[in-house]
């Protein structure tokens, strides 16, 4: 049997709307592991936001923070923080436009504005047990791997035009991810499979979001969830059912990894 490596996005791919892993997905992951395959996570989330899932699913390899912080077999193998000086300038610009920012590293997350309604709403939907703290200076003197700018659709254009050090990817109607330019889940996966010695033709990826597009295009065996937007489905080689229709299990059968 040829060993394959399968990367799963979390929100709306491996996790349903209640942020739970469907029983069919758990069953599928166990079957993959029993067959000797490597199951990994590829998510925009920070490690503290899914460590309980790693334990529950017996997974020790992941691409987190949209590819900026990669762990293989429990060992950190890649870090790609945001440019500190550019982040300082972005913060000043966001303050001028009254757009809150959340700073995220692998251990914590903080907001530069207290009790903002849009921040509370979007962050609350993620159902992460670790409380979002208030600390406007958190980014100073430490590596920040991802930031969130809270603005509505189209308002991010002012930042896109000014900050070529960053990529801005919408993940919520009121917020965009801020990533190092060129940083992506695809880049993180590249680092992980290089470390694990897995051939590209044996790599699979499942995703549903806009931040999954580059990953789905880069991986030879890519599967978009049925609940994904059309632009995401167009980036994938295959399309499975939605997360609520046992999409992970169905997709693995579709690509021949499960019977």
Residues with active-site annotation: 9
Residue 75 burial (CB count, 10 A): 10
User: 177: burial class by Cβ within 10 Å (0-12, 13-18, 19+)?
Assistant: buried
Which residues are bridge partners to 64 per DSSP?
69
Q: Which residues contact 144 (CB under 8 A, 6 or more apart)?
A: 81, 82, 84, 87, 103, 104, 105, 138
Integer Rg of the chain from CA: 18
Which residues are bridge partners to 78 per DSSP?
70
SS3 category, 35: coil
Q: Of 32, 191, 179, give the one whose Cα is nearest residue 8.
A: 32
């Amino acid at each position: 049997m040829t060993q394959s490596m399968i990367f799963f996005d979390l929100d709306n791919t491996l996790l349903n709307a209640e942020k739970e892993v469907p029983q069919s997905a758990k069953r599928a992951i166990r079957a993959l592991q029993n067959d000797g395959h490597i199951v990994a996570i590829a998510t925009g989330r920070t490690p503290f936001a899914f460590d309980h899932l790693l334990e529950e699913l017996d997974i020790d390899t992941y691409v987190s923070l949209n590819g900026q912080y990669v762990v293989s077999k429990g060992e950190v193998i890649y870090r790609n923080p945001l440019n500190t000086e550019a982040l300082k300038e972005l913060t000043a610009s966001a303050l001028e436009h009254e757009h809150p920012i959340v700073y995220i590293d692998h251990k914590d997350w903080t907001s530069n504005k207290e009790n903002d309604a849009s921040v509370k709403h979007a962050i609350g939907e993620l159902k992460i047990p670790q409380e979002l703290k208030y600390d406007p200076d958190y980014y100073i003197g430490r590596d920040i791997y991802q930031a969130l700018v809270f603005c509505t659709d189209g308002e991010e254009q002012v930042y896109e035009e000014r900050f070529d050090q960053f990529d801005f990817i919408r993940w919520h109607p009121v917020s965009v991810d801020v990533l190092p330019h060129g940083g992506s889940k695809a880049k993180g996966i590249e680092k992980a499979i290089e470390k694990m010695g897995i051939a590209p033709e044996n790599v699979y990826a499942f995703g549903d979001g806009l931040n999954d597009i580059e990953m789905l295009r880069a991986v030879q065996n890519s599967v978009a969830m049925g609940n994904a937007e059309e632009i995401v489905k167009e980036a994938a080689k295959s399309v499975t059912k939605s997360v609520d229709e046992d999409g992970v299990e169905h997709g693995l059968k579709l690509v021949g990894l499960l019977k």
